[in-house]
A = this chain, B = another copy of it.
Amino acid sequence: MDKNEEKQREEEREQVVSPWEVSSSGKIDYDKLIDKFGCQRLDQSLVDRVQRLTGRPPHVFLRRGVFFAHRDLNDILDAYEKGEKFYLYTGRGPSSEALHLGHLVPFMFTKYLQDAFKVPLVIQLTDDEKCMWKNLSVEESQRLARENAKDIIACGFDVTKTFIFSDFDYVGGAFYKNMVKVAKCVTYNKVVGIFGFTGEDHIGKVSFPPVQAVPSFPSSFPHLFSGKDHLRCLIPCAIDQDPYFRMTRDVAPRIGYHKPALIESSFFPALQGETGKMSASDPNSAIYVTDSAKAIKNKINKYAFSGGQESVELHRKLGANLEVDIPVKYLSFFLEDDAELEHIKKEYGAGGMLTGEVKQRLAKVLTELVERHQVARAAVTDEMVDAFMAVRPLPNMFD
């Protein structure tokens, strides 16, 4: 097989990235995804600009390229530089009780954005989506939404700047009017092109994209943004959500709003290796925020795919393949100390450090993270959930 054939074969490898499926026979090719989706690469100059504008060091997810793509982030920053604030919108489909580390990534990053830019945030819990896609009952979807809200709140959001809502609670009024306005602008053929629905899919699926679209428009939140129809919106999310917002951006100017800007992350890989997102259906593919220190240690030791060599001798000689090594990948998400990370990569890559040592370091980092989360979550009361989810004005949200 010559080089060209190889390349062709590679290109033919299935790489599916949609809001409901992320799969690939090899590593996800994020460059290809940027090309396919038509978004922009988040380059160093943009990271530097964020640092300059916010006066604080960029989040580890930003400086290490976890958030690697964007749409119109420059426009948001141009406006911000002129003194024009914006709001953040992110969300979660509450399909499972326990979140894993991959679920925390967008929320940890959004918390940083909220603090750095001092802007309000709306968080959508799409319990209606999960009720429809996962065939959960309305009640179970709502229960999961509330449980997930506790984990989200535990990430440290500012209640004076944050509105969390579940679709089953909140759809109606101005939000529903915007859903209708969006739905009028999108043909069935268009959603088939974007989302790949078939005639055998139920109409709930066809009806849903406007529900995820309209939090991008300030008028969907009259208790927050009344009279601020031209407020811009920035959406931090994983790149599999891009199809929703391509549709949203297409519609926005036709109904009188700015296109929402996006800042998009790669996927947090499964313990077994970097071929997609972690799977909620396989508990051994992920570290959960409910895992004990022992469970974390065991999962890492047993399942984390190693780039180390088969024997200590060989490893000392060849070093680890950092490209495929999951412990190093995980550390690059959660070990904040740049110098230490560089040290590990250098030593491990040269064979001076063994997989066991790296895994041990990772277990410590993740245990600290998870235990910190567990303490924070245990402190989230039902009253706090009610407070975040109350439909209320936020008088100091731009301070």
Contact A180 B210 (CB under 8 A): no
Q: Does A302 sit at the interface, judged by CB under 8 A?
A: no
A19→B180 CA distance, assembly (Å): 19
**Is A360 located at the chain interface by the 8 A CB criterion?**
no
Whether the Cβ atoms of A188 and B199 lie closer than 8 Å is yes
A186 CB contact (under 8 Å) in B184, B188, B203: B203
Q: Pick from A39-47, A169-177, A329-337 the stretch touching chain B.
A: A169-177
The proximity string for A residues 51-84 relative to B, scoring 1 for CB distances below 8 Å and 0 otherwise, is 0000000000000000000000000000000000
> Bound state CA distance, A132 and B170, in angstroms?
22
Selected from B167, B180, B198, B202, the residue in CB contact (under 8 A) with A185 is B202
17 pairs of residues in contact across A and B, judged by CB atoms under 8 Å: A128-B176, A128-B180, A132-B180, A167-B176, A170-B172, A171-B171, A176-B176, A183-B203, A183-B207, A186-B203, A187-B201, A188-B198, A188-B203, A188-B206, A192-B199, A203-B207, A206-B206
Q: Does A191 contact B (CB under 8 A)?
A: yes
> Assuming A138-B180, A203-B206, what are 11 further A-B pairs, CB within 8 angstroms?
A132-B184, A171-B176, A172-B172, A172-B173, A184-B204, A185-B202, A187-B199, A187-B203, A188-B188, A188-B197, A188-B202
Query: How far does the Cβ of A136 sit from chain B's closest Cβ, in whole Å?
Result: 10
Q: Is A189 an interface residue (CB 8 A)?
A: yes
State whether the Cβ of A327 lies closer than 8 Å to any Cβ in chain B. no
The CA-CA distance from A167 to B180 in the complex, in Å, is: 11
User: Please, how many angstroms separate the alpha-carbon atoms of A131 and B170 in the complex?
Assistant: 21
Q: How far is the CB of A182 from chain B (nearest CB, A)?
A: 8
